[in-house]
Amino acid sequence: MTLHPDPDAADRAALRTTSRLRVRYAETDQMGVVYHANYLVWCDIGRTEYMRALGAAYADLERDGLFLAVADAALRYHAPARYDDLIRVDTWIERVQSRTITFAYEISRDDPDGPVRLVTATTRLVALDRNGRPRTLPASLQEIFRHARPTP
C-alpha cells in the first residue's frame, strides 16, 4: 500500500491511500466480469488499510469495543473488472461527524499506462458499541480522522 496526498483536498482530510489487489476467479460471474457486490468488499479493504495507515487499525478498535457498521452505501459502475486484473482502490475520508464517518473510494484497473476508472463509491459508517447500540466516536479518533495527513 502507498500513501499519497490528495491535491484537491483543502478543507477535508488530505490523506489518500492506495490498496492493490488481484481479481480472484471466485469474484467473477457468468457475465465474465466481477460480480457487482464484490466491489463493496474491495471498498472494505481500502477502508481497512486507510485506518491502518492512520494508526487506527480496525481490528484494534473492535477489541476496544468500537464497531463501525455500514449505514449507507452508494456505488457507480463505470467499467467492469475481469479475472486476474490488477486493481487499485484509492480511499479517502469525505466527512467526519460525532457518530459517523463517510469514506469515498475510486476503484481502478491498474494498467501500466495509468489507472482506468471502474467504480466510484461512498460508504457512511456509524459507530456502535459491543451490543450494537449507537455511540459517539472517541474524540481522539475524530481528531485523527479529521486531520488525516500523509506521513512525511
Catalytic residues: 29
Instruction: Please report whether residue 20 would count as binding a copy of itself according to CB under 8 A.
Output: no
Q: Is 59 in the site for a copy of itself (CB under 8 A)?
A: yes
Q: Which amino acid is at 107?
A: I
One residue of 7, 31, 112, 140 binding a copy of itself per CB under 8 A: 31
Sole binder of a copy of itself in the list 55, 112, 114, 132 (CB under 8 A): 132
- Work out whether 36 is an interface residue with a copy of itself (CB under 8 A): yes
- Shortest distance, position 102 Cβ to a copy of itself, whole Å: 14
Site membership for a copy of itself, residue 14 (CB under 8 A): no
CB of residue 24 to a copy of itself, shortest distance in Å: 6
The three grid cell numbers given for residue 145, joined into one nine-digit string: 480522522
**Cα–Cα distance between 57 and 46 in angstroms, integer?**
12
Give the Cα separation of 120 and 16 in Å (integer): 14
- Which C-beta is closer to a copy of itself: that of 9 or that of 35? 35
Write out the E strands in the chain.
Answer: 2-5, 15-22, 67-77, 86-96, 100-111, 114-128
Q: Is the dihedral of CA 143, 145, 151, 152 positive or negative?
A: negative
Instruction: Using the rule CB under 8 A, give the single segment among 4-12, 56-64, 93-101, 142-150 that binds a copy of itself.
Output: 56-64
Ordered DSSP codes for 19-38? EEEE--GGGB-TTSSB-TTH
Cβ pair 62, 48 in contact under 8 A: no
Judged by CB under 8 A, how many residues of this single chain contact a copy of itself? 36
Contact positions toward a copy of itself, by CB under 8 A?
A: 24-26, 28-33, 35-38, 40-41, 44-45, 48, 57-59, 62, 67, 69-77, 80, 83-84, 132
